[in-house]
Amino acid sequence: MPMRQLLLLRHAKSSWDAKGVSDQDRPLSPRGRRAAALMRGAMLDLGLAPDIVLVSPARRTRETLEALQPWDEAPLIEPTAKLYLATAPQLLEVLREMPETARSVLLIGHNPGLHDLSLRLVGGRDAPARTPASDRARTRLAEGYPTGALAEFGIAGSWAQVDTGSGQLIRFLRPRDLPQHGSGAPEA
């Protein structure tokens, strides 16, 4: 069975400036817009192009998605209400419903669920890394999952069986790790 790709992107930094705006309606801050644009460049440089994009209905996640567009080949975009502030088990349920024909899935969501899911996929904080690059990525992942960060996993097996320990962390990119100008793929 071929290796599948799972991309977990936490929404970029949101603004807290507007008083009286609900949590679900908070927009991205200017810093968040810049970070999302940087992540778009990194994804292009690395050839990260999902078949399906699952996005929380929150404004900040939708605006993060908008910053990643346009795609060379447009993915199927599925706004998914279950992703709003979802826990790791809830996120796993959504992933298990992915069609087996999907080669690559991008999920744009929120913490703490994304961080907890990422740690579960690699088998927990103390599971051994498989390569020096994944060891560096795991160290950064263990430190936290900041806004705008992207984790790339290889998933062996079917989407229906994705669970604890079923993901190989390939890279973990934080906006602060990305080159601020020009192109050039970031280090894993």
CATH number, domain containing residue 148: 3.40.50.1240
| Confidence category of residue 183, pLDDT binned at 50, 70, 90 | very low
Check whether 39 has a pLDDT greater than 90: yes
C-alpha to C-alpha distance for 41 and 152, rounded to whole angstroms: 15
Confidence (pLDDT) at 184: 47
Confidence (pLDDT) at 130: 63
The answer to whether position 78 is within a domain reads: yes
Q: How many domains does one find in the chain?
A: 1
Of 3, 162, 9, 169, give the one whose Cα is nearest residue 98.
162
C-alpha to C-alpha distance for 186 and 36, rounded to whole angstroms: 15
| Under 8 Å between Cβ of 10 and 39 | no
Check whether 127 has a pLDDT greater than 90: no
Check whether 131 has a pLDDT greater than 90: no
Omega prior to 112 cis, within 30 of 0: yes
| Under 8 Å between Cβ of 186 and 38 | no
Cβ-based neighbour number of residue 18 at 10 Å = 10
The answer to whether position 182 is within a domain reads: no
Can you spell out the DSSP letters for 116-168? HHHHHHTTSTTSPPSSHHHHHHHHHHHH---TT-EEEEEE-S-GGG--TT-EE
**pTM for the whole structure:** 0.90
The answer to whether position 185 is within a domain reads: no
Domain that holds residue 132: 4-177
Mean local confidence (pLDDT), 112-125: 89
DSSP 3-state assignment of 98? coil
Check whether 134 has a pLDDT greater than 50: yes
Confidence (pLDDT) at 126: 54
Residue 84: DSSP 8-state: T
Structure tokens at 8: 């977990």
Residues 6+ apart with CB under 8 A from 176: 146
The answer to whether position 141 is within a domain reads: yes
The answer to whether position 80 is within a domain reads: yes
The answer to whether position 110 is within a domain reads: yes
50-107 confidence digits (pLDDT tens): 999 999 999 999 999 999 998 888 899 999 999 999 999 999 999 999 999 999 999 9
The answer to whether position 122 is within a domain reads: yes
The answer to whether position 188 is within a domain reads: no
